[in-house]
């Protein structure tokens, strides 16, 4: 009888220890993932890093009057790629577009994947004209290149919204919102184009 109680006690204690251990290992892995700076699929920065840098760069803009622009990017008809060829093909397209973005960004431009097929660039020390030029370069690069999936050539285009911080901008998110508005404008007026806020 005593042996049985001891056995049950040991079994329960072991189970509790292992489940606690499992929980902590799980939490640790989650924390490591959260601390990671890059998006696993595209190798661009992740949304969390983007948010942090956005705040930092906006503070720098406020303090020193440095130029700062945001370029919002959204792939055109991306759902069609996923629906036609499947999500793995979609992933391949995203990887390819990310590589075009990285190849065209300078050191002081922070490119991140901020949504499914949405990407954002913080263009530090970059006025509106330069940011627009960057967006146009990326637009052309994406349009003129291809991804390949199982021998099939996949072509995509992207729409771009550009906005710059100025003395009337209250916060970093306002710049993002204005770039989003410009992106919406690009989508609405035909896609595969660059729209600049206020122009």
Catalytic residues: 117
Distance CA 104, CA 102 (A): 5
Pairing mode of beta strands 68-75, 118-124: antiparallel
- Under 8 Å between Cβ of 138 and 100: yes
Q: Report the chain's terminal Cα–Cα distance, integer Å.
A: 85
State how far Cα 6 lies from the chain centre: 54
- Under 8 Å between Cβ of 131 and 145: no
- Under 8 Å between Cβ of 127 and 69: yes
């Amino acid at each position: 009888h005593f042996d049985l109680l001891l056995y049950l006690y040991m079994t329960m204690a072991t189970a509790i220890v292992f489940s606690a251990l499992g929980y902590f290992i799980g939490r640790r892995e989650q924390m490591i993932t959260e601390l990671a700076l890059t998006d696993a699929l595209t190798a661009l920065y992740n949304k969390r890093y983007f948010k942090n840098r956005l705040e930092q760069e906006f503070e720098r803009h406020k303090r020193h009057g440095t130029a700062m622009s945001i370029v919002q990017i959204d792939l055109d008809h991306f759902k069609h790629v996923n629906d036609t060829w499947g999500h793995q093909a979609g992933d391949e397209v995203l990887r390819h577009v990310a590589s075009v973005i990285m190849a065209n960004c300078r050191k002081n431009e922070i490119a991140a994947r901020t949504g499914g097929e949405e990407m954002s660039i913080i263009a530090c020390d970059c006025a509106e004209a330069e940011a627009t030029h960057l967006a146009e370069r990326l637009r052309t690069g994406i349009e003129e290149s291809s991804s390949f999936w199982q021998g099939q050539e996949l072509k995509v285009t992207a729409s771009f919204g550009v906005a710059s911080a100025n003395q009337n901008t209250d916060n970093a998110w306002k710049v993002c919102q204005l770039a989003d508005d410009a992106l919406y404008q690009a989508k609405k007026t035909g896609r595969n184009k660059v729209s600049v806020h206020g122009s």
